[in-house]
């Protein structure tokens, strides 16, 4: 077992956003680096120039930053690190490809006119797979013929020569030992005829140069791994450890896709999920702490995370569970953190007041104490706060049903009694409300609905007595009396 400090990486291709699966991979790498005091590298795999752009990269960086996944290294000196970009390392891949040709592990392939098929990696391969025919390659051409073709600038790919026999085996921290027969692996392209590396080459060169000790990535890369192991071996460098994490499925057990809802983590941000909940939720997609505990802060996850807890079975993305977890985190977050998360939502709803940064902060904190239990998403906070700070708009159906002439009388009585209450706190208010209902001979529940509709114009609100306490005496009296005036004559 190596005792070298752990070095891990997240290596997304820039697709314009950080999707749930990628975010989970990034998180697992980050958690392991943070737990072991290792190094977490971010590397943007942008060698597909047509698909890559700054905007594409920004989408990934936004997702990483929202989740708090900081990386430790980058090419530039000073300031916050930029990630590594493969597009800045093309010469290095070309040099390694040439080195592999020189060492006899790879060869020039001039068969550009041969019929081609696209593999899953987008790599073009002549339809010679299986025959292992080397016609028109540097394996069968003479040195002079090769030199002449090179001098003429004839297009050619560089292909790795997979041993015809034997097995390529690697241990996987999640799945145990995995092996592939070499006879089933084609001689794969490492450098395309346009001079660009394929994924297999660039990923291995980078993981080698960046001294990555542990590769944690999606299950979909298992079939790529033997080719990469062969490359490490050909280069004579240590093979990193591998941990392939299971796929994420939708609730219908099909691979998670747009059909199931948002797949970009920033869409969840836009839906009012707090990053603390997203991190917690993603961590449990395929990893288990080995106990029933479900709620974790990022710091607790860092303490607990290990590769042994990753399950080999596929993980199911349950949106209801995410919403539940979001509510739990909204309840647990420190006031200042919750306010920072809720602020843009309050601004958007026209409810943010500068005083919330000053003298009205304690009031906002008290209001949030009432609103947190009902907030499944951040948008529920302005939704609940609006009726407390804006003039009441009455829901006609709630008025018709609850603000009857009889109730109007009791509401007037309640206002009189509240006005003389020595201590204006929720328990005392509760006594007065219940006492008023009893004295008036109406059911407490029905009376409380009438009070609620007076206070907020509708039949839903946070805890009634706490709401009255929060609104304060004057505002509560004004609202209760206005409610009484709404009542229809008997
Ligand atoms: N760019 C690859 C991807 O996005 C990286 C795979 C790997 O981690 O090796 O899937």
CA dihedral 350, 355, 357, 358 (to 10 degrees): -170
Spatial contact of 44 and 63, defined as CB atoms under 8 Å apart: no
| Pocket lining: 45 vs ligand 1, CB cutoff 6 Å | yes
Tell me which of 132, 254, 258, 443 is the catalytic residue. Answer: 258
- Ligand 1 contact via 12 beta carbon (within 6 Å): yes
Reduce the DSSP state of residue 44 to 3 states and report it.
strand
Which of 44, 123, 215, 217 has most ligand 1 atoms within 8 Å of its beta carbon, as the pocket-test mutant?
217
What does the H/E/C string look like for 409-451?
A: HHHHHHHHHHHCCCCCCHHHHHHHHHHHHHHHCCCHHHHHHHH
Q: What is the mean pLDDT of residues 224-253?
A: 96
Among 28-42, 107-121, 165-179, 388-402, name the one with the lowest average pLDDT.
107-121
Confidence tier at 29 by pLDDT (50, 70, 90): very high
Q: Is the pLDDT of residue 387 over 60?
A: yes
Angle at 139 between CA 95 and CA 127, to 5 degrees: 95
User: What's the gap in Å between 197 CA and the centre of ligand 1?
Assistant: 14
Domain range spanning residue 17? 7-85+246-324
Check whether residue 294 and residue 161 sit in a common domain.
no
In 10 A of CB 111, how many CB atoms? 18
Count: domains in the chain: 4
Predicted confidence (pLDDT) per residue in 325-376, tens digit? 999 999 999 999 999 999 999 999 999 999 999 999 999 999 999 999 999 9
Q: pLDDT > 90: what percent of the chain?
A: 84
Examine the pLDDT at 239 and tell me if it is beyond 90. yes
pTM above 0.75, yes or no: yes
Beta bridge partners of 255: 249
* Residues 44, 86 contacting (CB under 8 angstroms): yes
Residue 439 sits in the same domain as residue 291: no
Residue after which a domain boundary falls, among 299, 324, 349: 324
Question: Alpha helices, DSSP H only, in 43-137?
Answer: 54-67, 90-102
pLDDT given for residue 129 in this prediction: 47
Is the CB of 60 within 6 Å of ligand 1?
Answer: no
Last residue of a domain, one of 245, 261, 292: 245
Q: Dig out the tokens for 120 from the structure.
A: 């899953």
In this structure, what are the phi and psi dihedrals at residue 408, rounded to the nearest 5 degrees? Answer: -55, -40
473 occurs within a structural domain: yes
pLDDT tens digits, 310-321 = 998 889 999 999
CB atoms within 10 A of CB 473: 15
Mean pLDDT of 88-95: 96
Do 155 and 189 contact (CB within 8 A), yes or no?
no
User: Would 99 be classed as within a structural domain?
Assistant: yes
| CA distance linking residue 396 with residue 408, whole number of Å | 16
418 closest CA partner among 394, 404, 435, 401: 435
The pLDDT of residue 121: 55
pLDDT tens for 48-73 read 766 667 788 899 999 999 999 999 98
Q: Which two tokens stand for residue 156?
A: 């050619």
pLDDT above 70 for 30: yes
What is the pLDDT confidence band of residue 78, given thresholds at 50, 70 and 90? Answer: low
What CATH code is carried by the domain that includes residue 351? 1.10.8
Tokens 């394929």 found at: 198
| Shared domain check, 78 and 51 | yes
pLDDT for 65 equals 95
Sorted by sequence, the CB contacts under 8 Å of residue 17 that are 6+ apart come out as: 59, 60, 63, 264, 265, 266, 267
Mean pLDDT rounded to a whole number for the chain: 92
43 Cα–ligand 1 center, Å = 9
Mean pLDDT computed over 471-481:
97
- The yes-or-no verdict on residue 126 having pLDDT over 60 is no
Beta bridge partners of 171: 177
Reported residue count of the chain is: 490
Per-residue model confidence (pLDDT) at position 72: 94
Give 48 Cα–ligand 1 centroid separation in angstroms.
13
**CB of 111 within 8 A of CB of 135?**
yes
**Residue (of 190, 97, 112, 189) closest to 154 by Cα position:** 112
pLDDT at 105 > cutoff 50:
yes
Q: Domain holding 274: CATH number? A: 3.40.50.620
Ligand 1 contacts CB of residue 221 (under 6 A): yes
Instruction: Pick from 8, 13, 247 the residue to mutate for probing ligand 1's pocket: most ligand atoms within 8 Å of its CB.
Output: 13
- CA dist 159 and 144 (Å) reads 20
Q: Does residue 307 lie in a domain region?
A: yes
The pLDDT value recorded for residue 55 is 81
SS3 call for 255 = strand
Examine the domain organization and report whether 445 and 482 are in the same domain: yes
Indicate whether residue 187 lines ligand 1 (CB < 6 A).
Answer: no
CB 374 within 8 A of CB 456: no
**Which phi and psi angles does 160 have, rounded to 5°?**
-80, 135
Does residue 212 form part of some domain? yes
- 94 within some domain: yes
378 and 317 in a single domain? The answer is: no
* Reported confidence tier of residue 115, pLDDT bands at 50, 70, 90: very low
Greatest CA separation for the chain: 110
Nearest-atom number in ligand 1 for the CA of 12 is: 4
Mean pLDDT of 465-487: 96
Q: Which residue, by CA, sits nearest to atom 6 of ligand 1?
A: 11
CA distance 420 to 438: 18
User: What CATH number is associated with residue 480?
Assistant: 1.10.10.350
Residues 442 and 364 in one domain: no
CA atoms within 13 A on the CB side of 171: 6
Q: How confident is the model at residue 130 (pLDDT cuts 50, 70, 90)?
A: very low
Asked whether residue 401 is domain-assigned, the answer is yes
Q: Which residue has the tokens 């077992």?
A: 1
Interatomic CA distance for residues 384 and 374, integer angstroms: 9
Nearest-CA residue for ligand 1 atom 10 is 12
- Can you tell me the distance from the alpha carbon of 40 to that of 62, in angstroms, rounded to the nearest whole number? 17
Residues 157 and 127 in one domain: yes
Contact 224 CB / ligand 1 (< 6 Å): no
Ligand 1 within 6 A of CB of 207: no
Ligand 1 centroid from CA 157, angstroms: 22
pLDDT at residue 118 in the model = 52
Burial 55-78 (b: 16+ CB within 10 A, else e): ebbebbbbbbebbebebebbeeee
- Residue 222: CB within 6 Å of ligand 1? no
Q: How far apart are CA 230 and CA 227, in angstroms?
A: 5
Same domain, 217 and 250: no
Say which residues have a Cβ less than 8 Å from residue 127's Cβ, sequence separation at least 6. 114, 115, 116, 117
pLDDT at 79 > cutoff 80: no
Is 173's pLDDT higher than 50? Answer: yes
pLDDT class for 112, splitting at 50, 70, 90? low
Would residue 72 count as lying in a domain?
yes
Q: Residue 54 has what pLDDT? A: 79
Q: 196 near 158, Cβ under 8 Å?
A: no
3-state secondary structure of 75: coil
Residues 254 and 241 in one domain: no
Atom of ligand 1 nearest to the CA of 22: 4
Residue 445 C-alpha to ligand 1 middle, in angstroms?
59
Q: Please say which residue of 304, 324, 344 terminates a domain.
A: 324
Verify whether residue 321 is a known catalytic residue: no
Residue 127 confidence (pLDDT) above 60 = no
* Inside any domain, residue 283: yes
Minimal-distance CA residue to ligand 1 atom 3: 12
Greater confidence (432 vs 76) lies with: 432
Indicate if 117 and 230 belong to the same structural domain.
Answer: yes
Share of the chain above pLDDT 70, in %: 93
Tell whether the model's pLDDT for residue 77 goes beyond 70. Answer: no
Residue 25 CA to ligand 1 center (angstroms) comes to 10
Residues 231 and 113 in one domain: yes
Do 215 and 94 belong together in one domain?
A: yes
CB of residue 11 inside a 6 A radius of ligand 1: yes
Any ligand 1 atom below 6 A from CB of 203: yes
Distance 14 CA to ligand 1 centre (A): 10
Beta bridge partners of 177: 171
Residue 453: burial class (beta carbons within 10 Å; 0-12, 13-18, 19+): buried
What is the Å distance from ligand 1's center to 297 Cα?
27
């Amino acid at each position: 077992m190596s005792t070298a400090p752990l070095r891990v990486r997240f290596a997304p291709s820039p697709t314009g956003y950080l999707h749930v699966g990628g975010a989970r991979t990034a998180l697992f790498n980050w958690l392991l680096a943070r737990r072991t005091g290792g190094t977490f590298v971010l590397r943007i795999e942008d060698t597909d120039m047509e698909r890559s752009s700054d905007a594409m990269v920004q989408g990934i960086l936004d997702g990483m930053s929202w989740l708090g996944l900081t990386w430790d290294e980058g090419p530039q000196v000073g300031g916050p690190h930029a990630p590594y970009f493969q597009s800045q390392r093309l010469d290095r891949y070309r040099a390694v490809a040439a080195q592999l040709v020189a060492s006899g592990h790879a060869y020039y392939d001039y068969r550009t006119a041969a019929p081609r098929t696209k593999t899953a990696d987008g790599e073009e391969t002549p339809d010679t797979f299986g025959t292992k025919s080397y016609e028109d390659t540097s394996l069968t051409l003479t040195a002079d013929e090769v030199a002449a073709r090179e001098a003429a600038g004839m297009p050619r790919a560089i292909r790795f020569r997979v041993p015809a026999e034997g097995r390529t085996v690697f241990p996987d921290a999640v799945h145990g030992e995995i092996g592939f027969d070499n006879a089933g692996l084609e001689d794969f392209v490492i450098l395309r005829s346009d001079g660009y590396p394929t994924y297999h080459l660039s990923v291995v060169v980078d993981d080698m140069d960046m001294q990555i000790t542990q590769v944690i990535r999606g299950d979909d890369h298992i079939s790529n791994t033997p080719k990469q192991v062969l490359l490490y071996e050909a280069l004579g460098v240590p093979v990193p450890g591998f941990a392939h994490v299971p796929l994420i499925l939708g609730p219908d057990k099909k691979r998670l896709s747009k059909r199931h809802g948002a797949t970009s983590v920033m869409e969840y941000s836009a839906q009012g999920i707090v990053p603390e909940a997203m991190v917690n939720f993603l961590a449990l997609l395929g990893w288990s702490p080995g106990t029933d505990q479900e709620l974790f802060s990022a710091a607790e996850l860092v303490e607990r995370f290990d590769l042994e807890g990753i399950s080999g079975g596929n993980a199911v993305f349950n949106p209801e569970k995410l919403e539940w977890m979001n509510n739990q985190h909204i309840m647990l977050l420190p006031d200042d953190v919750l306010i920072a998360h809720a602020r843009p939502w309050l601004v958007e709803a026209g409810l943010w007041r500068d005083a919330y940064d000053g003298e009205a902060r304690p009031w906002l904190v008290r209001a949030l104490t009432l609103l947190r239990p009902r907030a499944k998403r951040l948008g529920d906070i302005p939704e609940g706060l609006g009726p407390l700070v804006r003039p009441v708009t009455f829901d006609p159906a709630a008025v018709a049903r609850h603000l009857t002439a009889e109730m109007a009388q009791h509401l007037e009585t309640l206002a009189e009694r509240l006005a003389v209450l020595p201590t204006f706190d929720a328990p005392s208010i509760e006594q007065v409300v219940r006492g008023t209902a009893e004295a008036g001979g109406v059911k407490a529940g029905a009376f409380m609905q009438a009070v609620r509709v007076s206070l907020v114009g509708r039949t839903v609100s946070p805890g009634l007595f706490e709401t009255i306490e929060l609104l304060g005496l004057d505002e509560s009296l004004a609202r209760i009396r206005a409610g009484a005036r709404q009542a229809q004559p008997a």
